[in-house]
A and B are shown apart, each in its own frame.
Chain A
Amino acid sequence: MFSFTKEQKVFEISGISIGGQPGIYPTVLFGGVFFKGEPDFDDAKRHIQTSLDISKQTGTPIIPDFFIRKVEFIEPIISFIEKVMPRKYPFSIDIIEPSIKVETLIHLAEKKLLTRTIYNSIHIGITKEEMDVLQNNTPEMAIIVAFNPKNKSPDGKIEVLENGAYLTEKGLLEIAHNLGIEKILVDTAALAPGENSGAAIAAIPVIKEEYGLPTGCAIHNVVEKSRWLNDFPLAKKTVDVASNISIPLFGGDYAIFGPIENAGLVIPLIAWQDILVSEYAENYFGITPVAAHPRRRLLK
C-alpha cells in the first residue's frame, strides 16, 4: 500500500469517479454482460439489478460492460441499455470488430448516449475509419489497452502508450487526445501465464506514477488462461474472483472482472480490500476516503 508522487487524475462519468491516490475513491468494477455473445436480455436484467443492489449496499461502483459481437446485436443491446439501465448511469461497450465499433458509436450518438459511454477500447488495432467516427461521435471516456506485442513488460506497455511501439503512427495516448477523449482509463493488458502475466499488475503502479491516469486491467483473464486450474474447479472459481484483489493492492483504480454473474462475489471482496487500503492510507498518508467509500458505508 502506497501513495504516488505524481498527481493522480480522477475522471467522473455519470456520477462515478475513477482514479486518484489509493484510498480515496473505491475501486470501480466492470462486469461483462452478454459475455457469451448471444444476448439473453432477461438474464442480463436480473444480473444487472442484483449487481447494482450490492453496489449500493457496499459503496463499490459497478459498471456493466456490454459485449457486442455481431452487427445485428447492436440495435437490441442499445435499446436494452436505454430501457433497463438506470437513467444517467454509465456503461461500457466492449467490442473487438472495428466495423461493429463504428456502427455502435453512430447508434449511441443517435440515441444521445455517448455522455454515459465508456469505449472499450482503443488499442494498436485502431483503424482510420474508427478514428474518423470517434472524432465526430466521441464517447465520454475510453479504455486504452496497453498491449505491446513487441515487449510485454511494464516498459513495453508505456512504450505503446507513448509512441505506439512503431505499430501506430502516434502513441495511443496521443491518438486518444487527438480524438478529443480526455477521460482515459489505461488497461495494462493481462497476458497468459508464461507471457509475463504478472506484468499487467506490476505495470499498474508504474503507469500511474508515469502518467497519473486511472489504471486497471482484466486480471481474471490470466486465471481463465491458467489451464492447470481446470483440475481444481472449486479453486478456479475462487482464484478467478480473488485475482481482482491484486488490482487495488497495487494501487489500481478499476477491475474488469469477467461475467457480471460474479458480482455477488467480487463486489464484497473488493469492498473488503478497499477498506484495508483506505485504513492504511489514512493512518500513514492522511488520505481520507470519499463519503461513498465502502469503509464509510460498511464500517459504522
Chain B
Amino acid sequence: MKKKLKTSVIGSYPISIDTGELINDYFSDKLSSWTEYIEQAVHDMTTAGIDYVSDGQTRDPFIQLFTRKLKGCRIRNRTEIIGHVEYQDQITVEDQKFARQMLPRDTGLVGIITGPYTLTKSSVDLFYHDTKELCFDFATALRGEALLLQKYVDLISIDEPFFSNELPEYAKELIGTITNGLSCPTRLHVCGDVSRIIPQLVEMPVEILSHEFKASPQLLEFFKEYSCLRKICVGAVQSDDVRVESIEEIVTHIKKAIAIFGENVVQIAPDCGQRLLPREIAFRKLQNLTLAGEIING
C-alpha cells in the first residue's frame, strides 16, 4: 500500500569533518574530497528509514554553502556582497547527483536551497545598499540552481528562516522568482514563530509549507484560524533539543496536526536542519520519526 505520510529531512545533518585528513591530502598533493561525508549523512538518513533524504549539507553552513559559489559574494567573518550577485556554476547539484546514486529505489531526494531573503539578511551588503534589489538578484541566481537541480531531485525545498523575523512585502514574488515553472514539487521551510505571517505563508507559490511545529506546537492553533490549501510538512522532532522524543510523543503530535490540516499533512520531518545535534541523537530522532510515521500510516 502506498504510504500517505512521508518522512523527510529539512536539510543539514551533523557529520564531523576530518580536518587532519584534509590537510594530509594537501601535503600529499591529493585533491580534497567530500564524498565520504555525504555518504555518511545519506547512510544515516536511509538507515533510519527516511523517505526524502538530503545530501546532509555537510560542506558548509547553509548560508556559506551558497554564497561561496555565487558571483559577487566573498566570505569573511560573514558573507560580504562586493558586486552583482550572479549564478556562475552548479552549487549543490554535483553533491545531489552523488547522493542520488546511493539511494534505495523508493527513497526520494530533497534539493535544498537557502532562500534569497535569508541570504540577504545574513550578508553584509557593501555593494547594493538596497535590500530588495539584492534579494531579487539572489533569487534570480538561485533560480539558476533550481533549474539544474530539478533534473536530479524529487523535491526542492527553500529554506527561509528569516521570514519569521521579518516578512518583506515582496516575499511571494521573491519565492516565485525561484519556483515559477519548475517541474518538480517545491517546499518552503520557515522555522521560528510564524504565527504573525500565516496569511502570507498560505499564499506562497510552493506546494508544501514546512514549519517548526514541535518546538512551537501553538502554531497548530494559529493555523486553525486560516484556510490553508497548501500541503504541510509537520516539524515533529526538535532540532534544538538533545532529548530524543518517544515514538508515542511524536505520534500524538502528528495526530494533532492531522486534526487541523487533515489530508494536507503529507510530510513529517525534524523542525529544522539537524546540524547542531550530536550525530547519534540526530539519528535516533530520525529513527523514531520513521517509526511514528509507520504507526500513523498503519
Contact = CB atoms under 8 A, between A and B. Distances in A.
B63 to A, nearest CB: 10
Contacts of A225: 29
Interface in B14-52: 17, 19-20, 22-27, 29, 31-32
Interface string A124-151: 1111000000000000000001010111
A158 interface: yes
B76 interface: yes
Nearest to B27: A96
A123 B23 contact: yes
Contact of A125 (B20, B60, B64, B77): B20
Contact of B76 (A126, A162, A167): A162
Interface size class of B (residues with CB under 8 A): 20 to 34
A147 B31 CA distance: 12
A166 to B, nearest CB: 6
B224 interface: no
Interface in B72-124: 74-77
A189 B75 contact: no
A115 B264 CA distance: 70
A159 interface: yes
Contacts of B74: 155
Interface string B196-226: 0000000000000000000000000000000
B165 to A, nearest CB: 23
A67 B25 CA distance: 18
A158 B76 contact: yes
B22 A124 contact: yes
A150 B24 contact: no
Contact of B68 (A147, A151, A195): A151
Contact of B31 (A126, A156, A163, A195): A195
B26 A147 contact: yes
Contacts of A286: none
B68 A96 contact: no
Nearest to B25: A149
A281 B205 CA distance: 61
A37 interface: no
Contacts of A195: 31
Nearest to B74: A155
Contacts of A98: 20
Nearest to A163: B77
Given A96-B27, A189-B26, A225-B29, A124 B76 contact: no
Given A149-B26, A150-B60, A189-B26, A162 B77 contact: yes
A225 B26 CA distance: 12
A192 interface: yes
A168 interface: yes
Contact of B60 (A124, A126, A158, A166): A166
Given A98-B20, A125-B22, A147-B23, A159 B60 contact: no
Contacts of B22: 124-125, 149, 167
Interface in B170-211: none
Interface in A193-232: 195, 225
A194 B263 CA distance: 53
B29 A192 contact: yes
A62 to B, nearest CB: 23
A208 B26 CA distance: 23
Nearest to B28: A96
B19 A167 contact: yes
Contact of B19 (A125, A156, A159): A125
A96 B22 CA distance: 12
Nearest to A192: B29
A189 B25 CA distance: 13
5 contacts: A123-B26, A125-B23, A159-B76, A165-B75, A166-B64
Given A98-B20, A166-B61, 13 more contacts: A125-B24, A145-B23, A145-B26, A149-B22, A149-B26, A150-B68, A158-B76, A162-B77, A166-B64, A167-B17, A168-B19, A191-B26, A192-B29
Closest 8 CB pairs of A and B: A125-B23, A149-B32, A125-B20, A124-B19, A155-B74, A159-B75, A149-B22, A147-B26
Interface of A: 96, 98, 123-127, 145, 147, 149-151, 155-156, 158-159, 162-163, 165-168, 189, 191-192, 195, 225
Interface of B: 17, 19-20, 22-27, 29, 31-32, 59-61, 64, 68, 74-77
